[in-house]
Amino acid sequence: MQIRVVTDQPWDVDTEVLAVPVSTDDEMPEPLAELDRRLGGDLTEYRRVGELNGKAHIAALLRGTEMGAGWVLGMGIGERDKFDRVQAVRLGASIERRLGGRSVSRLAVWLPAQLGSSAGLDTAGLVELVTRGVVEGEHEPAAIYRDSVDSAPPRLDELTLVVTGGDPSVLTAAASRGQTIGAGANRVRGLAQRAANDVSPEVLADEATTLGNECGLDVEIIGPERAAEMGMGMFLAVGKGSDNPPRFIVLRSRAAVAGQKDGKGRLLAFVGKGVTFDSGGISIKGAERMEEMKMDKTGACTVINAIATVARLAPDLPLMAVAPAVENMPGPHSTRPGDVVRGLNGKVVEIQNTDAEGRLILGDALTYAEQQGATHLVDVATLTGAVERAYGKLITGAFGAPQDWYEEVASAGARQGERYWQVPLVDEYRADMDSWYADFNNTGGTEGTLVKSGLFLREFVTRPWAHLDIGGSAYLRKATPWAPRGATGVTHATLVELALSGASSSDGDGSRPS
């Protein structure tokens, strides 16, 4: 898709569809009023009858007259002074999805002056986020296994962002960044939603290898024999019941292989949970919604694609991604409740519940990342059902230590319009995980399970670390105006933003819009 940023008047842009944001505010500022005049007052009339009242994501398609666009799409944004970064991404995605099933190849989006200024969003940041939203809006999960989907959003040949001013080179770079980040999120979503009979640990490793080779990354795949020699007892315990052997996936940029640090003195490591299907093992889950457990690899899909996205934007940036991939199944060789295993860092764990498997593979992966020189770590995992019960589908639960590192991660997410809520690491709960036979258990009773999941992971880190639990936010069970049912790609943009914050100008992406 070709992307242009222009400073023309919106009615002068030659395009098939011109999308314009419409707020619930009573006044109609210029040049929206001029657009309304050219449309014969249709915007005013649609507002009067309630067809286009400005409420968020309520849209109407009008025939363009006296302008370069054949059609005008009015898209509601709610109150103008409440428009923020979250809404900027959703604006782009909602526009694209509203055009689903339509024959459109050229789209323009008008971004009026001051849109988002109340949230501290400048023009470059607005252009990046709206472009990212449009690209993410193209994702159609129904097309993964089908040849065609009649209602799919259109594949655009051209996207034009219409702004009132600014440095064209800066704005074009911001749009290109948004396009690259959005495309990476869509790759996360496509891979995460593929079925378990399609993506085994070995296939996930193959996908990572292909992507790593495309992006100039160093790829290492560790099989079960070598993992056993290294002492990854927790990682190996999870996949023992499956006929599909585990794979421990490691991606490194060439700068990381060379032992370099980024502009902030970091070797940042992304760690992602890659359970390609989670039956619960011997502690088997109930039948309800078990089909969703193909999504338990989303954390791995996220970090694999995040490092690839960063490599496209800043190829010389030191960075590492670690994705332990397993299938958790009951079988004659399955780990049993009460089994005792030793982690890569030497700590001994009693496995009380084989369905608390994600923390086991992440523990060894976090230890491995530190052993390989990582100075700062972020893990992403569909770790608990408790996080969905607490925060629903639109907020990611997060832990971190020390506090300043957590705040840096959360700030990166905020800049990309992704929401986090910090969960406290309450030390007193650690006693509930005590074991008679081991250093601690992998579970600790039914109270405070979300907190205890974070406390377990903390046992395997000694450096600045954040844990992003996407157990609720990784996928939607029903469509929204800005996203289909299925994987959301959440945290991908946060990880990319976090990594790029350590880039210098020589790395290829030292400047970031505010």
Rounded Cα distance between 462 and 367, Å, is 9
CA distances from 186 to 67, 286, 331, 460 (A): 33, 30, 34, 31
Sign of the dihedral through C-alpha 243, 245, 246, 249: negative
- Enumerate the active-site residues: 285, 359
414 CB-near residues (< 8 Å, 6+ apart): 85, 420
Token pair belonging to 228? 């056993």
Largest CA distance in the chain: 79
pLDDT in tens, 237-284: 999 999 999 999 999 999 999 999 999 999 999 999 999 999 999 999
Rounded Cα distance between 233 and 401, Å, is 25
Strands 106-110 and 15-23 come out as parallel
pLDDT in tens, 22-69: 999 877 878 899 999 999 999 999 999 999 999 999 999 999 999 999
The residue type at 212: G
Token pair belonging to 365? 């992966």
Among 471, 265, 466, residue whose Cα is nearest residue 375: 265
The DSSP element (H or E) to which 486 belongs, if any, is strand 486-487
Rounded Cα distance between 62 and 74, Å, is 8
pLDDT: is 451 or 116 the higher one?
Answer: 451
pLDDT of residue 297: 98
> Is the overall model pTM greater than 0.85, yes or no?
yes
What is the arithmetic mean of pLDDT over 68-87?
Answer: 96
What is the arithmetic mean of pLDDT over 355-373?
Answer: 98
pLDDT of residue 505: 57
| Range 126-163 burial, b when 16+ CB lie within 10 A, else e | bbbbbbbbbbbbbbbbeebeeeeeeebbbebeebbbbb
Domains of the chain plus CATH, in order, are 2-189 (3.40.220.10), 196-504 (3.40.630.10)
pLDDT in tens, 303-323: 999 999 999 999 999 999 999
Token pair belonging to 32? 């929206």
User: For the chain, what percent of residues have pLDDT higher than 90?
Assistant: 93
Rounded Cα distance between 234 and 202, Å, is 19
